[in-house]
Structure 1
């Protein structure tokens, strides 16, 4: 299985939004809230240049969005989603590595993310450290940060 990584195209936007919602709903948490939340099913067009897409045989199986933050030395991991049928195949780790690479290309020395309880251990296993608890539309979540080499 060969996984390709590329920058998202405008034509990918609907597929990315559908994957984001499907992945979010797969755990069965906050189903009604997610279905009612417009941002749970869309990737803003303005973010597309900052989105890396993972593909297998031309099919999108995941994506990550990393944005330069207000501080010149910080970047923010906005979204990281993998299609449920592709979970546990290393795609999330590949996308996270791509996010870190892109953040360093921005000149960032730190990468931040807000992670729900289910995702927190994934990020911590990758070197992110807990900063504080923050409120989100759905539930309290952890703000995590990683120092980039």
Structure 2
């Protein structure tokens, strides 16, 4: 884990800052850029999701370096609904540390697995974190990968 990295639940008042971080990260990914520019409404963190305590912020040196969100599934498992890290900090372990924090939070909530619908460009990252490919899903922006990490 990167030094001095801490996690906490996001505050409702941080919604705009987190959405701005999501924009920076998403636009820095060529696989997402065109679709997001065509559909800017896709970047929106519901205030009730923030108020529910399942949006987690990663901080380093007193600054937000990333965030992730969990949602409950009807089968009792959890789904990773968001995972974004400041683009200048990619490939330094922040994303994996944030994902593992979410996995622990899901485990603490009684989930047997953590699920994610990922893009092809994120497959290697999720596999390196312990996810396995279990299928495909159609999303608003095309086909995505259904992946699962057993907890």
* TM-score for the superposition, normalised by structure 1: 0.92
| Counterparts in 2 of 1:126 and 1:30: CA distance versus 1, 3 Å | closer
Structure 2 unpaired stretches of 5+: none
Q: CA offset at residue 38 of structure 1? A: 4.1
Q: CA offset at residue 139 of structure 1? A: 2.5
| Counterparts in 2 of 1:30 and 1:100: CA distance versus 1, 3 Å | closer
Q: CA offset at residue 30 of structure 1? A: 4.0
1:15 paired to 2:17: yes
| Aligned pairs, number | 147
Mapped to 2, the partners of 1:39 and 1:127 lie a distance apart of: 31
Mapped to 1, the partners of 2:92 and 2:137 lie a distance apart of: 30
Mapped to 1, the partners of 2:38 and 2:44 lie a distance apart of: 12
* TM-score for the superposition, normalised by structure 2: 0.90
Structure 1 moving runs of 4+ over 6 Å? none
Mapped to 2, the partners of 1:118 and 1:112 lie a distance apart of: 17
From 56, 59, 65, the equivalent of 1:55 is: 59
Structure 1 unpaired stretches of 5+: none
